[in-house]
Amino acid sequence: MSEAIITDTPDADRSGADSGAVVPVADEDVVVDHPVDEHGAGDHAAHMVTSTGLSNNKLAMWLFLGSECLLFGGLISTYMLYRGRHTGSPGPAQLWDIPLTSVSSFVLLMSSLTMVLAVSAAQQRDDRLTTLWLSVTALLGATFVGAQVYEFTSFYHEGLGFTTSLFSSSFYTLTGFHGIHVTIGIIMLMALVGIISRSKVPGDKAEVVELIGLYWHFVDIVWIVIFTLVYLIPA
Amino acid sequence: MAIIERPSTVPAIAGGDAPQFVSPASSYGVFRRPVNSTGWRSWVFTVDHKRLGIMYGATALFFFLIGGVEALLIRTQLAAPDNTVLSASLYNQLFTMHATTMIFLFVMPVTTGFANYLVPLQIGARDVAFPRLNAFGYWCFLFGGIFLNTSWFLGGAADGGWFMYQPNANALFSPTHGVDFWSLGLQITGIASITGALNLIVTILNMRAPGMTLMKMPIFTWMALVTQFLLVFAIPVITVALFLLMFQRVFGAQFFNVDAGADPLLWQHLFWIFGHPEVYILILPSFGIVSEVLPVFSRKPLFGYKFVVFSGAAIGFVGWGVWAHHMFASGLGPVSVAVFSVSTMLIAIPTGVKIVNWVLTMWGGKLHFTTAMLFAIGLIAQFTIGGLSGVTHSVSPSDTQQTDTYYIVAHFHYVLFGGAVFGLFAGFYYWWPKVFGKMLSETLGKWNFWLMVIGMNLTFGPMHILGLQGQPRRMVVYPENLTGEGFFNLHFWNTAATVGSYLLALGVLVFVYNVWHTRKGAPAPLDPWDARSLEWLTTSPPKVHNFDVIPHVHALDEFFHLKYEEVDTDTGPRLVKVRTAEELLTEQETNADKHIHMPSPSYWPIVLAAGLPIMAYGIIYNHLLTVIGGAIVLMGAFAWALEPSVADDSDYDPPAAGGEPSQELVSV
> The whole model's pTM is what?
0.89
**Is the pLDDT score of A4 beyond 60?**
no
Q: Are A59 and A46 in contact, with CB atoms under 8 Å apart?
A: no
**Helix and strand counts by DSSP (H, E) for chain A:** 10, 0
CA geometry: angle B494, B498, B501, nearest 5 deg? 140
Task: Return the number of other C-beta atoms located less than 10 Å from residue B18's C-beta.
Answer: 7
Contacts for B337 with CB less than 8 Å, ≥ 6 apart: B324, B328, B396
Nearest beta carbon to residue B266 from set A73, A78, A164: A78
Residue bearing the bigger pLDDT, A72 or B593: A72
Asked if B237 lies within 8 A of A70 by C-beta distance, the reply is: yes
* Spatial CA neighbour of B452 closest among B510, B504, B417: B504
Q: Is it the case that residue A25 has pLDDT exceeding 50?
A: no
A94 or B113: which leads in pLDDT: B113
Alpha carbons B156 and B149: distance in angstroms, whole number: 10
Q: SS3 letters for B332-401? A: CCHHHHHHHHHHHHHHHHHHHHHHHHHHHHHCCCCCCCCHHHHHHHHHHHHHHHHHHHHHHHHCHHHHHH
How far from chain centre, in Å, is Cα B283?
9
A31, A67, A222, best to mutate vs chain B, most B CBs in 10 Å:
A67
Quote the CA–CA distance of A31 and A41 in Å, as a whole number: 13
Interface predicted TM-score (ipTM): 0.90
**pLDDT value, residue B6:** 38
From the list B233, B599, B640, the residue facing A67 with the nearest CB is: B233
Task: Identify the pLDDT of residue B651.
Answer: 54
Q: How far apart are CA A104 and CA A97, in angstroms?
A: 11
DSSP string of B51-109? HHHHHHHHHHHHHHHHHHHHHHHHHHHHSSTT--SS-HHHHHHHHHHHHHIIIIIIIHH
Contacts of B240 in chain A (CB under 8 A): 71, 74-75, 78
Cβ neighbourhood burial of B248 (10 Å; 0-12, 13-18, 19+): buried
Strands B572-577 and B665-667 turn out to be unpaired
Task: Determine the 3-state secondary structure of B264 from DSSP.
Answer: coil
Residue of chain A whose alpha carbon sits nearest to that of B255: A166
Q: Give dist(CA A58, CA A60) in Å, integer.
A: 5
Q: In Å, how far are B58, B286, B467 from B412, measured between CA atoms?
A: 25, 15, 13
CB B317: neighbour CB atoms within 10 A? 13
Cα B52 to Cα B1, B419, B519, distances in angstroms: 20, 25, 20
10 Å CB burial of residue B321 (0-12, 13-18, 19+) is middle
Task: Return phi, psi of residue B154, to 5°.
Answer: -120, 50
Cα–Cα nearest to B157, from B53, B247, B82, B86: B86
Strand boundaries in B94-181, DSSP class E: none
Helix (H) or strand (E) holding B134: helix B131-150
Which residues of A fall within a CB distance of 8 Å from B131?
44
What is the SS3 assignment for A60-117? HHHHHHHHHHHHHHHHHHHHHHHCCCCCCCCCHHHHCCHHHHHHHHHHHHHHHHHHHH
Are B66 and B83 contacting, i.e. CB atoms less than 8 angstroms apart?
A: no
With contact defined as beta carbons under 8 Å apart, do A117 and A157 qualify?
A: no
Instruction: Report in angstroms the alpha-carbon separations of A10 from A47, B61, B435, B475.
Output: 12, 33, 31, 52
Residues of A in contact with B601 (CB under 8 A): none
Looking at residue A235, its pLDDT comes to 67
Helices B442-468 and B490-517, interaxial angle, to 10°? Answer: 160
CB B612 within 8 A of CB B598: no
Q: Which residues of chain A neighbour B257 with C-beta distances below 8 Å?
A: 166
| Burial (CB count within 10 angstroms: exposed 0-12, middle 13-18, buried 19+), residue B523 | exposed
**Shortest Cα–Cα distance, B358 to chain A (Å):** 30
Report the candidate in B256, B269, B119, B126 with the shortest Cα–Cα distance to residue B201: B119
Quote the pLDDT of residue B341: 94
Q: Do B206 and A52 touch (CB under 8 A)?
A: yes
Question: SS3 breakdown of chain A: % helix, strand, coil, rounded to 5?
Answer: 75, 0, 25
Query: Smallest Cβ distance to B643: which of A10, A50, A71?
Result: A10
What DSSP state is assigned to residue B216?
G
Residue B614: predicted pLDDT: 97
- Residue (of B538, B532, B514) closest to B434 by Cα position: B538
Give me the percent of chain A exceeding a pLDDT of 90: 66
Nearest chain B residue (CA) to A84: B261
d(CA B494, CA B491): 5
> Is the CB of A165 less than 8 angstroms away from the CB of B205?
no
Compute the distance between CA of residue B325 and CA of residue B341 in angstroms, rounded to an integer: 7
Residue B341 is which amino acid? S
Helix (H) or strand (E) holding B564: strand B564-569
Q: CA of A71 to nearest chain B CA: how many angstroms apart?
A: 5
Which residues touch B654 (CB under 8 Å, ≥6 apart)? Answer: B7, B25, B660, B661
**Cα→Cα distances B588→B207, B550, B580, Å:** 20, 9, 13
Residue A190 — very low, low, confident or very high, per pLDDT cuts 50/70/90?
very high
B240 vs A74: CB contact, 8 Å cut-off?
Answer: yes
Contact between residue B652 and residue B666 where contact means Cβ atoms under 8 Å apart: no
CB burial of residue B65 (10 Å; 0-12, 13-18, 19+): middle
pLDDT of res. A202 = 81
Q: A195 to chain B: which residues are within 8 Å by CB?
A: 641-642
Q: Which residues of B touch A68 (CB under 8 A)?
A: 236
β-strand partners of B24: B652
Instruction: Check pLDDT > 60 for residue A16.
Output: no
B597 three-class SS: coil
**pLDDT, position B645:** 64
Determine the residue type at B523.
Answer: P
> For position B51, what pLDDT does the model report?
95
Residue B145: CB partners within 8 Å, gap ≥ 6?
B59, B63, B101, B104, B105, B109, B185, B189
- pLDDT band, very low/low/confident/very high, at A19 (cuts 50, 70, 90): very low
Residue type, B126: R
A35 three-state secondary structure: coil
B386 CB contacts (<8 Å, ≥6 apart)?
B411, B412, B413, B414, B415, B416, B418, B419
Chain A residue closest in CA terms to B130: A44
DSSP codes of every residue in B464-496: HHHHHTTPBTT-----GGGS-SGGG-HHHHHHH
Question: Other CB atoms closer than 10 Å to residue B87's CB: what's the count?
Answer: 11
pLDDT along chain B (668 residues), means of 10: 36 37 43 72 91 97 97 96 94 96 97 97 94 96 97 94 91 92 97 96 95 95 97 97 95 92 94 96 97 96 95 94 92 92 93 96 95 97 95 92 94 96 97 96 97 97 94 93 89 96 97 95 93 94 92 94 90 88 92 80 92 96 95 92 67 50 39
Measured distance CA(B274)–CA(A150) in Å, rounded: 35
